A and B are shown apart, each in its own frame.
Chain A
Amino acid sequence: MEERLSAVLSPYEGRKDALIPILQKVQDELGYLPDDAMLEIAKTTGLPESRVYAVASFYAQFRFTPRGKHTIMVCRGTACHVRGAERILEETERSLGIVEGETTEDQKYTLETVACIGCCALAPCVMIDEDVEAKLTPQMVPEILSGRNE
């Protein structure tokens, strides 16, 4: 991890203003923001660790725990909400045996919700990794999950 981290951080020595892009790049590389990485970011930028944490914890994009192999994001946009997103979320939680924000024990799935993925015309929808599953009903949930069950 150290090598990957220093490769990402090397162009940012002393760049306090670039904290958010740095956090994004580190998370892209490592999948999340482990404690060690937060320390390294603080050292590289010259910012106090508390400030790095304060910024990282403010924004929804950043996470401090590793994700499962697949990330399932249930959209809770207004259009999805009025078309039954709540029930899609419940069915997904039941199917996976975890609740929003958790990762399955086998590290296969992480379940999250997202404010809106902007596919409102296809509501309700769920994003699995990069793919959007559109116009869902609760019954379709096990099917779209099993598609990834390799």
Chain B
Amino acid sequence: MMNFTEIQEQARQEWDSLQSGSVPVIAVGTATCGRSAGALGVVQAFEEEMSEKGVEAHIVEVGCIGPCYAEPLVNITKPGRATVAYKNVTKKMVTEIVDNYLKGDDPLPHYTLGSFGEGTVENIPRILDTPSFKPQERRVFRNCGVIDPTNINHYIANEGYNGLSKALTMTQSEVVEEMKKSGLRGRGGGGFPAGRKWEAGLNAEGDQKYVVCNADEGDPGAFMDRAVIEGDPHSVLEGMIIAGYAIGADTGYIYVRAEYPLAIRRLERAIEQAHEKGFLGNNILGTDFSFDINIFPGAGAFVCGESTALTLSIEGKRGMPRVAPRPRTTEQGLYDKPTLLNNVKTFSSAPMIITRGAEWFASIGTEKSTGTAIFALTGKVNNCGLIEVPMGITLREIIYDIGGGVADGGRFKAVQTGGPSGGCLPESLLDTPIDYDSLDEAGSIMGSGGMVVMDEKTCMVDVARYFLDFTEIESCGQCVPCRLGTKQLLDILKDICAGKGKKGDIDLLIELSQSVHGGSVCGLGQTAANPVLTTIRYFRDEFEAHINDKCCPAKVCKPLISFRILEDKCAGCTLCAKSCPVNAISGEKKEVHVIDQGLCVQCGVCMEKCPKKFSAVECLSPKLPVAPKETTEVVA
């Protein structure tokens, strides 16, 4: 078998010949999000066009490039030129790009997002100078969208397995010490110092130890871990192997959502390749250290993100967190053996820390939260996508610079971080820096990386109800405060949204929230009320409007809204009547139409169908009274 230097040499040759070859390279982002937007069709279109027109180029399928709003994304690098990034590529555009830029020399600037890499291309701005990219720092995403994730040589040529090779020349304590010095905190959301966890793993007594990677990304609105696995699976494997060496484990498990089939395929392929090169298996890189990794597809239970539940799930049991007093997973985890459990991004950070050193890692970020944070920036924001930013950047910079502001010209209302365990922060807190402690103080949490922007059309009571709906279903049910507490919270919130809120409900919600927080066994229950508490803390007026005035200011809660056709604006075009699913709209052609409030189900289709030039449908809250039937009128 080749030694590491030879492996690196071979990988570099392959990578260099691709990068500095004589033909253009076409990189298409074909991770799950790219595929959903039609990336595979784009790949096929390039293949067909090129073979038809006799154009030569390498097509490389890469992972998630980041700006999901611009998917499908295609990066084209012509020899000696900067890379041009094309956004929202369609099959029709492929024809034009092949004709104009691959055959000719016109890069079609109006189709591009910008350029990057060495050199410039005329009339195309450099992406990294734009407000959307300038504040970003791609570290965990270092290879995503750059390398072919199914080609281990691409990874190796980009510093891959360098960290492992170096770690194997260090003692276990030295590796742990480096991790501690880096200040890396667990990227799963809790923020426990990773180095200290590794140290506990090393110090734990036991002949059998395990390393487990938590890739059970369950937060609704978060897909960072999937992107890392799909775009750079080897970085996760390498981090796990280093961890295995550091604590003295010989077996690793990756607990990955079964709903991520592409991520699972990428991991399987990567594990196979790592075996072939001698990075996994017996006597790794000629040392005494042996390590292997198994994939465990999780069967869908949010609570399995909790470490004790996750390990029980791998054992084939119900994923119910162990009851306190419970030993730390590092002492007694999977099969009751010492187990080091970290998130995907934590493992993916480890190789960089070992290769480049703890000081390099800690050179960005804040004192207590070093390195970068990754977010899936979504919701009512212009530039949805995956972003990686230095810790300490403010929410405002993320939403307005990187995210390009609120979508559809809307007005910002709140930003949600941390998913069902997190909270909603208002405009007044937009200058909060992103780090574990500041977000905690504001009542939210860093979380695993979901960040959802909400505008004035989002009802905060409905958002609280939405999250409780989620946690109530996902509560494993073993402890009463969580099982019944979330149910009670949900029932009260549902009542408020339905216009049945009572005086005193807000205080009751707060009191119940505190009980659920204090009495629950695991993190799911302890944080379940966060969305309720933060929405009450920052948007109490909306709760009061629902309860006291039966009014939903955002006009979301159906039992509190009505639709009405404005007499002076309706042109009688009949579009609304034709599209009403419950035939609640009547009126002759060219005459004013009327909605029967007794029949209306508040679906809002009429409002959408009404042509902009008329804008004759309006939404009201509180609700209009339902017109009494004619018969009752006679009686009256």
Contact = CB atoms under 8 A, between A and B. Distances in A.
Given A17-B315, A20-B316, A82-B379, A121 B69 contact: yes
A43 B296 CA distance: 23
Nearest to A115: B220
Contacts of A123: 378-379, 384
A61 B302 CA distance: 12
A60 B300 CA distance: 5
Contact of B380 (A23, A83, A137): A83
Contact of B223 (A23, A118, A137): A118
Chain B interface category by residue count: 35 or more
Nearest to B258: A61
Nearest to B581: A94
A134 B37 contact: yes
Contacts of B458: 82
Contacts of B218: 115-116
A20 B379 contact: no
A120 interface: yes
Contacts of B380: 82-83
Contacts of B466: 78, 81
A67 to B, nearest CB: 15
A60 B476 CA distance: 12
Contact of B301 (A60, A118, A119, A120): A60
A1 interface: no
B378 A21 contact: no
B452 A58 contact: no
Chain A interface category by residue count: 35 or more
Contacts, number: 131
Contacts of A17: 315-316
B378 A120 contact: yes
Interface string A83-123: 10001001100100000000000000000001111111111
B221 A58 contact: no
B318 A120 contact: no
B36 interface: yes
B450 interface: yes
B603 A87 contact: yes
Interface in B216-235: 217-223, 226
Interface stretch (B121-129, B134-142, B604-612): B604-612
A123 B377 CA distance: 12
Given A87-B603, A122-B33, A116 B581 contact: no
B222 A58 contact: no
Interface string B364-375: 000000000000
Contacts of A58: 301, 318-319, 476
Contacts of A23: 299
B297 to A, nearest CB: 6
Contacts of B36: 119, 122, 125, 132, 134
Interface string A107-150: 00000001111111111010000001010011100000000000
B544 interface: no
Given A79-B378, A116-B218, A122-B37, 10 more contacts: A21-B297, A55-B317, A59-B299, A77-B221, A79-B452, A83-B379, A114-B259, A115-B470, A120-B221, A121-B71
Per CB-CB distance, the 6 closest pairs between chain A and chain B, nearest first, are: A121-B68, A118-B223, A78-B221, A121-B384, A59-B299, A60-B300
